[in-house]
Amino acid sequence: MKRQWITSGSPYEAQIGYSRAVVAGDWVFVSGTTGFDYATMTISDDVVAQAEQCLQNIAKALAEAGCTLDDVVRVNYVLPNGADFEPCWPVLRQHFGKAKPAAMVITAGLLDPRMKIEIEVTALKK
Protein backbone atom coordinates (compact mmCIF):
# COMPACT_ATOMS: atom_id res chain seq x y z
CA MET A 1 0.00 0.00 0.00
CA LYS A 2 1.39 3.36 -1.04
CA ARG A 3 1.77 6.07 1.61
CA GLN A 4 1.67 9.83 1.31
CA TRP A 5 2.97 12.09 4.05
CA ILE A 6 1.43 15.52 4.56
CA THR A 7 3.06 18.33 6.51
CA SER A 8 1.61 21.58 7.80
CA GLY A 9 4.93 23.31 8.17
CA SER A 10 4.68 23.25 11.95
CA PRO A 11 8.15 23.16 13.52
CA TYR A 12 6.90 20.45 15.89
CA GLU A 13 6.64 17.94 13.04
CA ALA A 14 10.35 18.16 12.25
CA GLN A 15 11.43 18.44 15.89
CA ILE A 16 9.42 15.42 17.05
CA GLY A 17 9.45 13.36 13.84
CA TYR A 18 5.86 12.97 12.70
CA SER A 19 3.54 14.07 9.89
CA ARG A 20 0.40 16.20 10.11
CA ALA A 21 -1.31 13.41 8.19
CA VAL A 22 -0.58 10.09 6.56
CA VAL A 23 -2.58 8.76 3.63
CA ALA A 24 -2.59 4.97 3.35
CA GLY A 25 -4.79 3.76 0.53
CA ASP A 26 -8.23 5.32 1.05
CA TRP A 27 -7.56 6.07 4.73
CA VAL A 28 -6.31 9.43 6.01
CA PHE A 29 -4.93 9.63 9.54
CA VAL A 30 -4.55 13.19 10.82
CA SER A 31 -2.33 13.67 13.87
CA GLY A 32 -3.54 15.44 16.96
CA THR A 33 -3.87 19.04 15.83
CA THR A 34 -3.93 22.09 18.08
CA GLY A 35 -5.18 25.63 17.59
CA PHE A 36 -1.89 27.12 16.45
CA ASP A 37 -2.00 29.22 13.30
CA TYR A 38 1.05 27.63 11.68
CA ALA A 39 1.69 30.63 9.41
CA THR A 40 2.30 32.90 12.42
CA MET A 41 2.85 30.29 15.17
CA THR A 42 0.31 32.13 17.31
CA ILE A 43 -2.56 30.67 19.32
CA SER A 44 -5.70 32.30 20.70
CA ASP A 45 -6.46 32.29 24.42
CA ASP A 46 -10.07 31.32 23.60
CA VAL A 47 -10.91 27.59 23.45
CA VAL A 48 -13.62 28.09 20.81
CA ALA A 49 -11.22 30.04 18.57
CA GLN A 50 -8.66 27.27 19.10
CA ALA A 51 -11.21 24.62 18.10
CA GLU A 52 -12.00 26.57 14.93
CA GLN A 53 -8.29 26.87 14.10
CA CYS A 54 -7.78 23.14 14.79
CA LEU A 55 -10.48 22.35 12.26
CA GLN A 56 -9.05 24.76 9.69
CA ASN A 57 -5.65 23.07 10.10
CA ILE A 58 -7.24 19.62 9.80
CA ALA A 59 -9.33 20.64 6.78
CA LYS A 60 -6.18 21.86 5.03
CA ALA A 61 -4.44 18.51 5.59
CA LEU A 62 -7.53 16.60 4.45
CA ALA A 63 -7.76 18.71 1.29
CA GLU A 64 -4.16 17.88 0.47
CA ALA A 65 -5.09 14.21 0.94
CA GLY A 66 -8.05 14.55 -1.44
CA CYS A 67 -10.95 14.65 1.01
CA THR A 68 -12.84 16.93 3.38
CA LEU A 69 -14.18 17.09 6.91
CA ASP A 70 -17.31 15.38 5.53
CA ASP A 71 -15.15 12.24 5.06
CA VAL A 72 -14.17 12.03 8.74
CA VAL A 73 -15.27 8.76 10.35
CA ARG A 74 -13.53 9.06 13.74
CA VAL A 75 -12.60 12.05 15.91
CA ASN A 76 -10.79 12.24 19.25
CA TYR A 77 -10.85 15.38 21.37
CA VAL A 78 -8.33 16.06 24.13
CA LEU A 79 -8.83 18.98 26.52
CA PRO A 80 -6.99 19.79 29.75
CA ASN A 81 -10.24 21.23 31.16
CA GLY A 82 -13.32 19.14 30.44
CA ALA A 83 -15.56 22.15 31.11
CA ASP A 84 -14.12 23.76 27.95
CA PHE A 85 -15.69 21.12 25.70
CA GLU A 86 -19.32 22.27 25.74
CA PRO A 87 -18.56 25.82 24.50
CA CYS A 88 -16.93 24.18 21.43
CA TRP A 89 -20.02 22.18 20.48
CA PRO A 90 -21.46 24.72 17.99
CA VAL A 91 -18.15 24.87 16.08
CA LEU A 92 -17.80 21.09 16.10
CA ARG A 93 -21.42 20.62 14.96
CA GLN A 94 -20.87 23.14 12.15
CA HIS A 95 -17.87 21.20 10.82
CA PHE A 96 -18.89 17.61 11.61
CA GLY A 97 -22.70 17.83 11.42
CA LYS A 98 -22.80 16.12 8.03
CA ALA A 99 -20.14 13.46 8.72
CA LYS A 100 -21.33 12.59 12.23
CA PRO A 101 -18.12 10.69 13.05
CA ALA A 102 -17.65 8.32 15.96
CA ALA A 103 -16.10 10.40 18.75
CA MET A 104 -14.28 10.28 22.06
CA VAL A 105 -13.38 13.05 24.51
CA ILE A 106 -10.38 12.76 26.83
CA THR A 107 -9.34 15.12 29.59
CA ALA A 108 -5.54 15.23 29.78
CA GLY A 109 -2.69 17.71 29.91
CA LEU A 110 -1.30 18.99 26.62
CA LEU A 111 2.35 19.79 25.88
CA ASP A 112 2.00 23.57 25.92
CA PRO A 113 -0.11 25.27 28.63
CA ARG A 114 -1.52 27.65 25.98
CA MET A 115 -3.19 24.68 24.22
CA LYS A 116 -6.80 24.21 25.30
CA ILE A 117 -7.91 21.58 22.79
CA GLU A 118 -6.30 19.03 20.48
CA ILE A 119 -8.25 17.19 17.78
CA GLU A 120 -7.27 14.00 15.94
CA VAL A 121 -9.28 12.56 13.04
CA THR A 122 -9.42 9.58 10.74
CA ALA A 123 -11.08 9.96 7.34
CA LEU A 124 -12.08 7.50 4.64
CA LYS A 125 -11.88 8.85 1.10
CA LYS A 126 -15.01 8.42 -1.00
Reported as a single tens digit per residue, the pLDDT across 49-92 is 999 999 999 999 999 999 999 999 999 999 999 999 999 999 99
pLDDT at 38: 86
pLDDT at 8: 83
Domain boundaries, the chain: 3-124
Task: State phi, psi for 9 to the nearest 5 degrees.
Answer: 90, 0
Task: State phi, psi for 103 to the nearest 5 degrees.
Answer: -140, 155
Q: How confident is the model at residue 2 (pLDDT cuts 50, 70, 90)?
A: confident
Give which of 89, 62, 68, 75 is closest to 118, Cα–Cα: 75
Q: How far is CA 69 from the centre of its chain?
A: 10
Statement: residue 10 has pLDDT above 80:
no
Reported as a single tens digit per residue, the pLDDT across 64-75 is 999 999 999 999
Q: How confident is the model at residue 9 (pLDDT cuts 50, 70, 90)?
A: confident
Q: What does CATH list as the number for 3-124?
A: 3.30.1330.40
In 1-126, where do the E strands start and end?
A: 3-6, 21-24, 27-34, 72-79, 102-107, 118-124
Statement: residue 34 has pLDDT above 80:
yes
Q: How confident is the model at residue 14 (pLDDT cuts 50, 70, 90)?
A: confident
